[in-house]
Amino acid sequence: MQKNTKNKERYELLAPAGNFAMLQTAVNSGADAVYFGLKEFSLRANARNFQLKDLNKINEICNKNKKQGKIVKKYLTLNSIIYSDELKKIEEIIKKVKGKVDAIICWDLGVIQLCKKYKIPFHISTQASISNIESAKFYEKLGAERIILARELNLKQIKEIIKNIDIKVETFVHGAMCLAVSGRCLMSQFLFNKSANRGECIHPCRRSYTIKDTQEGYELEIENNHVLSAKDLCTLPFIEDLKKAGITCFKIEGRNRDPRYLDKVIQVYKKALNKKLTPNEIKESMEELQKVYNKGFSTGFYLGKPTPKDFSPIEHSNATEKKQFIGKITNYYPKIQVATIKLVSGIKVGDKIIVIGKSTGIINSKIERIEIKKSPVEKAEKGQEIGVKLPLVRKNEEVYKIVPSK
């Protein structure tokens, strides 16, 4: 019998928030929900993350458009491996976040039991590797509000699971992919004593390697691919198929990315969830995604098992644009909407800039006019202080110029 009655609600775009600048960006760019971690028990320990004392501020930011009928939901991740001597601390966290988050993302059965004890909704993390109907039904009976399916499923398998359950289903739609099953990698732990399952991964998979035959001593250098490093997932070209499959929540990976990445990805996917894109719109949107961090794009497992073409030949980013730090905001005059910037690098009329800050999130702008001591100029150099028209920004926020990567 086909169920999935709860999957007929509107789509939710879920964005990562690794710090306040990213949180502001997610809210301003149109995310429906955000997920974030604390400094402990999160799988992104290297992100700045948040503290319990930040929860009121997080709520304030997510509710700032409440009068316009827009409230951004908040999901706390407690999805690392949990040891027995940490359960009391986990319980204290769960008690303190009750009423301040909409759900907890977890997979450890001890954490699930504590969520049930304090009546906090919980979503089952992709770390649980839910890859079949019976697993999905198990977590449904356990009381999960939502399940985040294993990354190793294709669309046909996802549809079959959704048909047989009556809770919401979430999947990743964009961002980095781990080579290990549902991200449960041991490589960082083995090589550097930094456990990915405790949020400490330092991504040794992204490096190039030489294969050595230990019996004969022959060495083989892998020239074209970083054989352990996958390209980034990108579902935009076939997102209509994901919508038809019954997926409720579309999740963006990237708590360690910057606000510009998040702003661009949210805007592209928000548009695709709100309407069916034309082929030309998909092409233009892909060009926008290529401007920010990526290691090349892959369809993941959605359309079939990955092939060697889904591995990345590069170690860092393949973005077509990059940001170049040019200075900081020194003052802002709200009546005339002018900001002053102390330059550490040159700028000229026509340049594209962004301003990033924990209160602002991100502001995108094109320089139409530059003034120095109230006189217009075509360009300015390092060491000069300039005035430019900008929406509201704050003192000490960082200013970057957007330039081609190559």
Q: What is the mean pLDDT of residues 342-350?
A: 98
Q: Check whether 46 has a pLDDT greater than 60.
A: no
**So what's the pLDDT on residue 1?**
44
pLDDT digits (tens, 9 = 90+) for 82-96: 999 999 999 999 999
Per-residue CA distances from 200 to 42, 192, 291 (Å)? 9, 10, 28
- Tell me the average pLDDT across 196-214: 68
Report how far residue 113's alpha carbon sits from residue 286's, in angstroms, rounded to the nearest whole number. 42
Cβ neighbour number for residue 379 with a 10 Å cutoff: 14
Angle at CA 130, nearest 5°, toward 18 and 237? 65
Q: Tokens in use for 70? A: 């827009």
Question: 365: which residues sit within 8 A by CB, 6+ positions away?
Answer: 352, 353, 354, 355, 388, 389, 390, 391
Structure token digits, residue 137? 């039904």
Q: Is the pLDDT reported for residue 45 higher than 70? A: no
Mean pLDDT across the chain: 90
What are 57-64's contacts with CB under 8 Å, separation 24+? 57/20, 58/23, 58/100, 59/100, 61/20, 61/23, 61/24, 61/27, 62/23, 62/27, 62/34, 64/27
Cβ-based neighbour number of residue 387 at 10 Å:
22
pLDDT of residue 8: 45
Q: Where are the alpha helices (DSSP H) in 224-278?
A: 239-245, 259-274
Dihedral of the alpha carbons of 81, 85, 90, 91, in degrees to the nearest 10: 140
Whether residue 220 has pLDDT greater than 90: no
- Residue 52 CA to chain centroid, in angstroms? 21
Domains within the chain, CATH numbers bracketed: 5-184+228-310 (3.20.20.70), 321-404 (2.40.30.10)
In percent, the amount of the chain with pLDDT more than 90 equals 74
Distance, CA of 376 to chain centre: 40
User: What pLDDT, on the 0 to 100 scale, is given for residue 23?
Assistant: 97
- Among 42-46, 215-219, 388-392, 402-406, the range scoring the smallest mean pLDDT is 42-46
pLDDT given at position 196: 64
Query: Burial level of 186, CB count in 10 A (0-12/13-18/19+)?
Result: exposed
First to last CA, the chain: 55
Token readout for 52 is: 């319990």
The arithmetic mean of pLDDT across residues 200-219, rounded, is: 70
Asked if residues 66 and 38 have their Cβ atoms less than 8 Å apart, the reply is no
> For residue 310, what pLDDT is reported?
85
Amino acid at the residue 244: K
For residue range 244-292, what is the model confidence (pLDDT) as tens digits? 999 999 999 998 899 999 999 999 999 999 999 999 999 999 999 999 9
Mean pLDDT of all residues in 235-246? 98
pLDDT tens figures, 280-329:
999 999 999 999 999 999 999 999 998 878 878 777 789 999 999 999 99
Taking a C-beta distance cutoff of 8 angstroms, is the pair 265, 196 a contact?
no
27 versus 190: the higher-pLDDT residue is 27
pLDDT band at 188 (very low <50, low <70, confident <90, very high): low
Q: Report the candidate in 164, 106, 118, 170 with the shortest Cα–Cα distance to residue 138.
A: 164
